[in-house]
Structure 1
């Protein structure tokens, strides 16, 4: 990337600005609200609407599927209007939809509201990426994403507890209304973002996966799939190695990711993005191999830590790789491509690991997924990157 510092040199430019703090706080409010929905939606569907397991699953999945499908369109909206207005509009849509949950008297209505929630997610997530690009120095993008991504982890960590607390205090109406306040807060804080100029909207839409990002994008999705597979099957694999539950491995994984993102944030800008991406894939693969072949709590814990270290570097490093290979005048396209790759990895990981486990068992499934992550390094060789798009 032009202007990047030499390897090992400190990155420059001021990062902690009012706009950056506003973005992080707005995303924190938004993701805490999304996290609060994790227990509320299935409980409401089952308790109030008498939905069976399949219907509950479809209702929960409608959110992610809608977000995945709409991310490219959200990218074009952001390129046309700039990130601030779509971010605020998406957060306001989330707040309005959550208030409408108080009137959801049937499964069909709840399903429709989940689709609208997914639309809000598509816009807010995609708008957040170009907003981050606009307000942070190019030489500190990896560090900026390391910090801002903690909003997602914190939202998942504390959001469900907030949702259940609100439910216990006043029932579902109080819970929906309380979470809607978080969406409104995200919109209010997001309105403080600078009104950056829109991208080049006159030209045709940018391809979601142009040639320069296809191979590194595939490598990134494979790395995300490894962590997603672990999160989906950690409880079952922990039981196989003699642990009573997955509480402490999950706590270790989450703790390492959060602390690592804080302590190693600047590392993601001091070295070549491709090298850090390769290191992240290597750690991810090694962690999965330890989880698949190890025996006992010590090996399981070691695999968890190594995998978490891979997750610390994976997203910031590949964010730099992909932004280097996508057109600078289409920041919405950057957000859309990045979001879709994350969605694909998160969705494919548990499915692929589950399919592998049917024939190989969980040890074999973790081992194969670990080898796939390690082999993803081959997709980052200089000859595989394709022609870099104009900057």
Structure 2
């Protein structure tokens, strides 16, 4: 029988790129450029004007992550109760205050205090902005939204160091601090133009635990595997002169671009091959890259080692997070992600200090070699079977959820 009804046309997909979304991304771009500029400059400042040893470099670089770990487990709850916007604006302002204090630093104690404060701001901003990005994206396109967000994150961390080295021009540290301060303030300004996305949680129900047991073994794997990143961030600016490079900007650029490329093109690798195989690949690549950096002391060796190491770093966090989220109910996923992120912060804070001792006692080769051994230990722990989920079927839902999160940025 004929009717006057026309067939219902399919609904167009919900948009990911909106004005609100772009506002958060631009705020993130300024923010990560601010932090990226500091990556190669802080170690040079500690070893140069402050006259610090390798141990001092490790402690002062890593202290940023110690500040972050103090607040990160609570940042999610703060965002759920007070909103994402307060974390974005407040976090960027705290980082601005921290960088502003760099202009007043006359000794390592003052820099330590400034770095601790900056870590608190970093944790707040990262959680607030990352959560708002997932809030804004349609549920079926959150992985795509995170890929776009990662462009802001890794563009800042890739190009920020080069900008920092350019502005430094060997001795002008205050110029770097001033420009990084401006970028952090611009991030806060753009954050003010965001619209709150938080939906009040229904009353009742127990809050998720701050430390999620399901994430403990994956967290220790991440802790060991990411120690190399702590050493890379802290000592690469000082090491490059040994292989004939004027500065580390090209190395950090190569690192950031490789991470971004693998994250975009290989986003579904943990989903396809499972967290055990993906984690094995990542820890093995990290260890191999660090060994090449340590023992092939040439420009070619440094660049080759950086590429291999970056591939490992790009896959480690999503692989471990996929394992941590396997079998975890939706109500505890935020808790699991918070626990994993805390292990990342600890790896950067403790790892930088431990490697600082190693570098002081045996040189850069000893430091990078110790970081490689830590990555091998992560591989052994992952494949030991302590976490029975490594032998189970791939949890594609967990892998999909893991793609919605990026790891925190290095100190």
**Aligned residue number for residue 64 of structure 1:** 65
Structure 2 SS opposite 1:149? helix
In the TM superposition, residue 77 of structure 1 has moved relative to its aligned partner by 1.4
**Aligned residue number for residue 220 of structure 2:** 218
Mapped partners of 2:260, 2:357: distance in 1: 30
**Equivalent position to 1:209, from 201, 208, 211:** 211
Q: Check if 1:382 corresponds to 2:389.
A: yes
Mapped partners of 1:107, 1:299: distance in 2: 33
Structure 1 SS opposite 2:197? coil
**Aligned residue number for residue 199 of structure 2:** 197
Q: Check if 1:25 corresponds to 2:26.
A: yes
Contact between 2:28 and 2:187, CA under 8 Å: does it hold in 1? yes
Query: CA separation of 1:317/1:383 partners in 2, compared to 1, >3 Å: closer, same or farther?
Result: closer
**Aligned residue number for residue 372 of structure 1:** 377
Q: How many residues align?
A: 371
In the TM superposition, residue 207 of structure 1 has moved relative to its aligned partner by 2.4
Mapped partners of 2:301, 2:179: distance in 1: 42
**Aligned residue number for residue 186 of structure 2:** 185
Contact between 1:288 and 1:303, CA under 8 Å: does it hold in 2? no
Q: Check if 1:278 corresponds to 2:277.
A: yes
Query: CA separation of 1:372/1:99 partners in 2, compared to 1, >3 Å: closer, same or farther?
Result: closer
CA RMSD of aligned residues (A): 4.7
**Aligned residue number for residue 259 of structure 1:** 261
Query: CA separation of 1:249/1:111 partners in 2, compared to 1, >3 Å: closer, same or farther?
Result: closer
Normalised TM-score (structure 2): 0.68
Deviations, residues 80-114 of structure 1 (Å, cap 9, x unaligned) = 22322221121123234444555556765554433
**Aligned residue number for residue 89 of structure 1:** 90
Contact between 1:292 and 1:365, CA under 8 Å: does it hold in 2? no
Deviations, residues 251-283 of structure 1 (Å, cap 9, x unaligned) = 654432222223333x358x35x8056314324
**Aligned residue number for residue 127 of structure 1:** 128
Mapped partners of 2:76, 2:58: distance in 1: 28
Mapped partners of 1:353, 1:278: distance in 2: 28
Q: Check if 1:346 corresponds to 2:348.
A: yes
Mapped partners of 1:127, 1:120: distance in 2: 11
Mapped partners of 1:55, 1:107: distance in 2: 8
Residue range with higher mean Cα deviation, 328-337 or 65-74:
328-337
Query: CA separation of 1:326/1:155 partners in 2, compared to 1, >3 Å: closer, same or farther?
Result: farther
Aligned pairs for 1:106-255 within 5 A: 109-163=110-164, 175-191=176-192, 192-199=194-201, 206-228=208-230, 252-255=254-257
Unaligned runs of 5+ in 2: 1-12, 396-400, 402-411
Query: CA separation of 1:303/1:377 partners in 2, compared to 1, >3 Å: closer, same or farther?
Result: farther
Contact between 1:28 and 1:152, CA under 8 Å: does it hold in 2? yes
Deviations, residues 331-390 of structure 1 (Å, cap 9, x unaligned) = 7645633431221233455566778898996797466445323331455642789xx9xx
Contact between 2:215 and 2:339, CA under 8 Å: does it hold in 1? no
